[in-house]
Structure 1
Amino acid sequence: MTTWKAVCRLDDIPVTGARRVVRPEGDPVAVFRNAEDQVFALLDRCPHRGGPLSQGIVFGRSVACPLHNWTIGLDSGCAQAPDEGCTPSFSVKVEAVQVYLDLDELRTVAVDAVKDAA
């Protein structure tokens, strides 16, 4: 059974923007909100050079990395071709106005990721 952790309210995430969720271990998680109020969560690291995806531009169901403009799918965490690579995605749910992330994933997913040089 999934244990959900409340991380913010929906209106704490800017429309077509992101909010960072700091974890005790590992890189933060970026929680994104698109223009249709859909919410997604990815590790806050581009698979290319580790750029902070939370600082990227959200459009549709994608985010553009602020370092090298790679397009990353918000639902999968994968780069759009011809670029290659994926960043981990996290389960997210919204109930009423509260945004939740899977607590087990927050504790375990990519906590030992090695940072690349930007």
Structure 2
Amino acid sequence: MSWIDIGHIDDVPLRGARLVKTHVGCVAVFRTDEAEVFAASNTCPHKKGPLSEGIVHGHKVTCPLHNWVFDLNTGEAQGADDGRISTYPVRLEDGRILLDGAAVSRRSAA
């Protein structure tokens, strides 16, 4: 894995998100708890809604356009017939958020 430092955990609001621009598109970084973050595609597959502007609850995010709910662990849409977002490995180290750049490069995050 190729870890990229994308900022301090305090840069992401609690139960909120931050958008990270990469060479393959935008990745949303979600903070679900004091010391818990997830990274996923920023684009809802339904109507292309910006997930970083959605509502973060538990380990889920709700799309701001049409209320599709995605599990941040798996990327699976809940209650939708076929919906999935890409998720990316992320970890915390001394308060810094590290994103797996190799995983982002392998998939389209747009």
Q: What TM-score do the two structures reach when normalised by structure 1?
A: 0.86
* Aligned equivalents of 1:75, 1:61: Cα separation in 2: 7
**Kept in 2: contact 1:79–1:85 (CA 8 A):** yes
* Separation of aligned partners in 1, 2:82 and 2:92: 30
Contact map agreement 1:15 1:37 (CA 8 A) in 2:
no
Q: State the partner residue of 1:20.
A: 19
- Aligned residue runs from structure 1 range 20-99, under 5 A: 20-24=19-23, 26-99=24-97
* Identical counterparts, % of pairs: 42
Query: Quick one: distance in 1 between partners of 2:32 and 2:70?
Result: 13
Instruction: Deviation per CA, 1:30-79: give whole Å up to 9, x if none.
Output: 00001353110001011211111000010000001000011111111110
Q: Hey, which bits of structure 1, 4+ residues long, moved more than 6 A?
A: none
Look up the match of 1:116.
none
Coordinate RMSD, CA, aligned: 1.5
The structure in which a higher percent of residues are strand is 2
Say whether the 8 Å CA contact 2:27–2:39 is kept in structure 1: yes
Provide the TM-score with structure 2 as the length reference.
0.92
Structure 2, unpaired ranges of 5+: none
Secondary structure in 1 aligned to 2:10? helix
Secondary structure of the structure 2 residue equivalent to 1:72: strand
CA contact (8 A) 2:89 2:100 kept: yes
CA gap of 1:36–1:84, structure 2 versus 1, over 3 A, is farther
1:96 CA drift (Å): 1.4
- What number of residue pairs does the alignment pair up? 110
Is there any run of 5+ residues in structure 1 with no aligned partner, and where? 114-118
Q: Distance in 1 between matches of 2:13 and 2:59?
A: 15
